[in-house]
Amino acid sequence: MGRSAAFFDLDKTVIAKSSALAFGRPFYRDGLITRRDVVKSAYAQLMFRLGGTDEQTMARTRDYLAALCKGWQVEQVRQIVAETLHELINPYVYAEAAALIEEHQAAGRDVVLVSASGDEMVRPIGALLGVTDVIATRMGVVDGRYSGEVEFYAAGPSKVEAVSELAAERGYDLADSYAYSDSYSDRPLLECVGHPSVVNPDRQLRRLAVENSWPVLEFRHPIPLGRRLRERPAVPVAAAALGVGVGVAIGIAWYGRHRRTRVTPTPA
């Protein structure tokens, strides 16, 4: 028997809303995006979630992301994330998800965030939760700027490829490992482990969970991390059991597009 791990999707699984929509409010408020951009963001998120396992849908989303990011300074994106993380993400972390992550860690399992969102966002979110291992979308970088190429797009079957590679490297026994997601697009991820659970699942995923007798969890308590630690006994994870990015990267993309003109180029 090898070691076991727990793999968590991000949006609607660990945090309570779409990251793209979470970022949309301050973007619109500060005049960084238009009302049309807000609608476009919501529509893009919906389309991915409804048809995320379709190769054409994933390819269009990947190419759109690459085109938006081309030429941006990587350090600029990291700065944006650092400035907004605690305001926009911390209040929306599900207390149940954070407690479940801690339960897996206490049991000696490695916890891995697996998200289609950009590594520059997912890794800091992981740090908030005490998670150091992430599988996320990685953009190509040349001379400190995004090249317009996607080195790895962490969606659909590609998530499973990365999970399998990590399992081989670390000696994880996937048959004894766990996975959590809210979206049908993560069906391959859920099916590659021995203990899949769905969290706040979409309709297709709920039906799949019922067919396969997978546990269905309902997370309902987004609480800022500091408050959650003070009130930990009030939110038992077991009470939530009944039986499941692109978004963040798009949010970063729109923010970066409008912030780019305000960044002073580094002298040659």
What amino acid positions are annotated as catalytic residues?
Answer: 9, 11
- Integer Cα distance of 260 and 264 in angstroms: 9
**Length of the chain counted residue by residue:** 268
- Give 100's contacts (C-beta < 8 A, 6+ positions apart): 180, 237
**Burial class of 69 by CB neighbour count within 10 A (0 to 12, 13 to 18, 19+):** buried
Place of tokens 């779409």: 18
- Integer Cα distance of 148 and 142 in angstroms: 10
Beta bridge partners of 3: 172
* Angle, helices 246-259/55-69, rounded to nearest 10 degrees: 20
89 within 8 A of 22, measured Cβ to Cβ: yes
Backbone angles phi, psi at 65, to 5 degrees: -60, -45
Q: What DSSP string describes 3-40?
A: B-EEEE--BTTTBSS-HHHHHHHHHHHTTSS-HHHHHH
